Chain A
């Protein structure tokens, strides 16, 4: 019996794609690691997932969108969206004129009532304590007719437009008004949201795929891609395989590992799109004793030791070894997307001699010749907790351990589950924590971790000068470049952490798309402006 033709026939058949497909609609398949469960503005703040926000951004517009400069201070960095324009009535009042062409996906016009209703939800601590906190400088939102919204602020400051436009995406009052939070969470609207953006909801197959379709009547222009399929695959290799095999058109975070760059380039069908990141990685120094938080840390409460640790590290070499060209060393807690990163100086270069001198000044010398500094018979020994799920931080931690050993510091690496690391961090049970943070586009977010009473200040760093500089920068009515620079200088001098890296997020995107624009604060927010290159519409419309 001749089996070869039989096997070949099977393989040939397997290679054939199914014949019956949907009518040609240009489709983009985006592979993601986490599925959106609650892609509804305001409500999504109680889910805390960026996946929800990314899908919501395809369906819901803001009054004004943050432009490519990400300048949150002043008005220059914003582009009109639901509001066709805005005017300043005085230093604490902004009036937005809604675009009369804007429509909900059920055909109803978007009105000032919708905006006022949504701000009402967002400022209600019962609906969203986090969001209401972010909007605490807004004192009143009111409607003047159907198409004008007036927002009043408690004081003049430079980020009024950012606060009014970025945090809140209006919801349809005609569908939601009068419902309690519990009713809203159980409503049909949550399962099938009605938005006003370029894409409308089609379906969700829990944890597998979300389908959105372009709204042909979208008032800012017809989206160039007719359909978006957001496909979930938990495993990073599975997502990459989908991209390489042509089953997905776009994938976020192709790097690390760096080897993926070569794999993507080898296909000839994909492009790498580097995008500034909202992420920051840093070695957080605990300034309180992990065993008794009322006491100062026996080693790290000394600023000389903290500075020595920073200077002993060649952070550029470490970042380059792990991220290649797709990462840089920040100056202070500033990810590459924050506009203040552009006014910051370069991070300090390594200086092992100065590090040793600072350690010696703090009493840490290698008295027994074992290569590890000691004081009073105790070695200079610290532990670093590292999340097992982070490839980048695990790889960097090994290099940090080696570089600090050469400076006379013994480091024990504790690679643990990210959840457990998070709990230990919150409880202050660490010496050094290899933390990762995703920042909002505004530098005002620095208050969370780097001011005395910041909600995320788990390391108990406290410097009244930093606090007042940050506060002054936030409430400054004009772009406060000098204040931010001074705050960052002070943070660098205090060394509450070694700010290790801010990555560039590398997206893999099918090169059949034109006008590819990916935004760091929400990658697919301007996907509607993408289009398919002429002649690259395959038979499958993929």
Chain B
């Protein structure tokens, strides 16, 4: 097992190094000068633009820029944002709590409600509940998240005025307010973005879980368990369900990066101050340092997600680690 784990870990590290190289050089190859945004509102003299280019190291050959980036990254310094004029590390650290909160909430809702509903559907396959949930999940899966976000914002924030339309905190809330008040304020702001992302992701999880569970319920050992008189509840959750988790583990691996990226569109629609909106702004501004910082974080999470999924597979199925 440890040898397998070591090999898998080395594979992940080499993938990450390859991703770093690709990201860095591809970003420089994309048309669009990061400094052009600074000069689009007000005219700037060529000399000023040259000084800015030197300040951000953009006047150096790409190879030297890469060496400087790698050297800095190894020390935990991803450079200074051209847009925000702050160290990328501090910007990312600043945005991570909001993203983890949103992504974590969505992940928990997704893998509790989604799994539970998927199992319910499979157990009652063909029933009215199954058909209704199937239609709901298909709709949820089909609806673009940004459109759903706009719809929910209009309904809950503008039409009914029940929830705030965006942001993470009420700007007028006293910072010295009791913790419960601040928590309640945070929950109100979290509700709409989390609901938007959850509705879409739960739909996907439900569909995966339903199919896998229907397969699992057909296994002979499930029939045996029923024949032995084990309760249906126990048969489903103790015997069938663990065998229906494999596709969901893959899904979990894919969803893990969402924990840090959130959803770019949903974060923007709800002005949620997370990494997704930071990355989106960096793309349009060609803010290379921020783009590299956020992209590496996402790439790292994708690789870690894949690794976690593999390890879970291996833990659940010895055939994989001995293959």
- Please report A residues at the B interface, Cβ cutoff 8 Å: 11, 13-15, 17-22, 27, 29, 37-38, 45-50, 53, 125, 128-130, 133, 185, 206-209, 229, 231-235, 237-239, 241-242, 244-247, 389, 417-420, 422-423, 438, 448, 455-456, 540-542
Contacts and interface: CB of A to CB of B under 8 A. Distances in A.
A49 B83 CA distance: 10
Interface of B: 31-33, 36-48, 51-52, 83-86, 91, 94, 150, 153-154, 157-158, 160-168, 170-174, 176-178, 181-182, 184-185, 188, 191, 268-271, 273, 277-278, 280-281, 284, 286
Given A37-B84, A129-B48, A419-B286, A241 B43 contact: no
Of A11, A238, A420, A455, chain B has the most CB atoms within 10 Å of the CB of: A238
Given A21-B174, A540-B172, A235 B32 contact: no
A69 B160 CA distance: 43
A231 B167 CA distance: 9
A422 B277 contact: no
Contacts of B281: 207, 234
Contact of B84 (A27, A129, A206, A455): A206
Contacts of B43: 130, 448, 455-456
B266 to A, nearest CB: 10
A424 to B, nearest CB: 8
Given A14-B162, A241-B166, 4 more contacts: A20-B173, A206-B94, A245-B157, A420-B31
B167 A247 contact: yes
Contacts of A19: 181
B191 to A, nearest CB: 7
Contacts of A11: 162
A423 B268 contact: no
A14 B84 contact: no
Given A231-B167, A241-B157, A247-B165, A20 B31 contact: no
B171 A229 contact: yes
Nearest to B265: A235
B84 A125 contact: no
A456 B45 CA distance: 10
Q: Which of A21, A45, A128, A419 has the most CB of B within 10 A?
A: A419
Contact of A48 (B39, B47, B154, B163): B39
Q: Which of B40, B42, B277 has the most CB of A within 10 A?
A: B42
Nearest to B47: A129
A49 B38 contact: yes
A244 B163 CA distance: 13
A537 B94 CA distance: 34
A428 B120 CA distance: 63
Nearest to A181: B51
Contacts of A128: 48
Contacts of A185: 85
A241 B170 contact: no
Nearest to B32: A419
A18 B171 CA distance: 11
Contact of B171 (A29, A37, A235): A29
Contact of A18 (B45, B161, B173, B191): B173
Contacts of A125: 47
B158 A234 contact: no
B174 A247 contact: no
A48 B166 contact: no
Contact of B33 (A242, A419, A455, A540): A419
Nearest to A426: B36
Contacts of B173: 18, 20-22
A235 B272 CA distance: 11
A238 B39 CA distance: 26
A49 B52 CA distance: 14
Closest 9 CB pairs of A and B: A129-B45, A419-B32, A20-B177, A233-B271, A241-B165, A235-B268, A48-B38, A129-B47, A50-B41
B40 A422 contact: yes
Contact of B48 (A18, A37, A46): A46
B315 to A, nearest CB: 38
Nearest to A133: B45
Contacts of A133: 45
A418 B37 CA distance: 9
Contacts of B280: 234
Nearest to B31: A420
A206 B161 CA distance: 28
B192 to A, nearest CB: 10
8 contacts: A15-B160, A18-B177, A22-B173, A130-B45, A133-B45, A206-B91, A245-B164, A247-B167
B181 A18 contact: yes
Given A234-B280, A235-B271, A48 B157 contact: no
A464 to B, nearest CB: 23
Contacts of B84: 37, 206-207
B268 A234 contact: yes
Given A125-B47, A209-B171, A238-B268, A245 B178 contact: no
B41 A207 contact: no
A486 B52 CA distance: 39
Contact of A46 (B52, B150, B174, B184): B52
A226 B271 CA distance: 25
Scoring B157, B171, B173 by chain A CB atoms within 10 A of each residue's CB, the highest score goes to B171
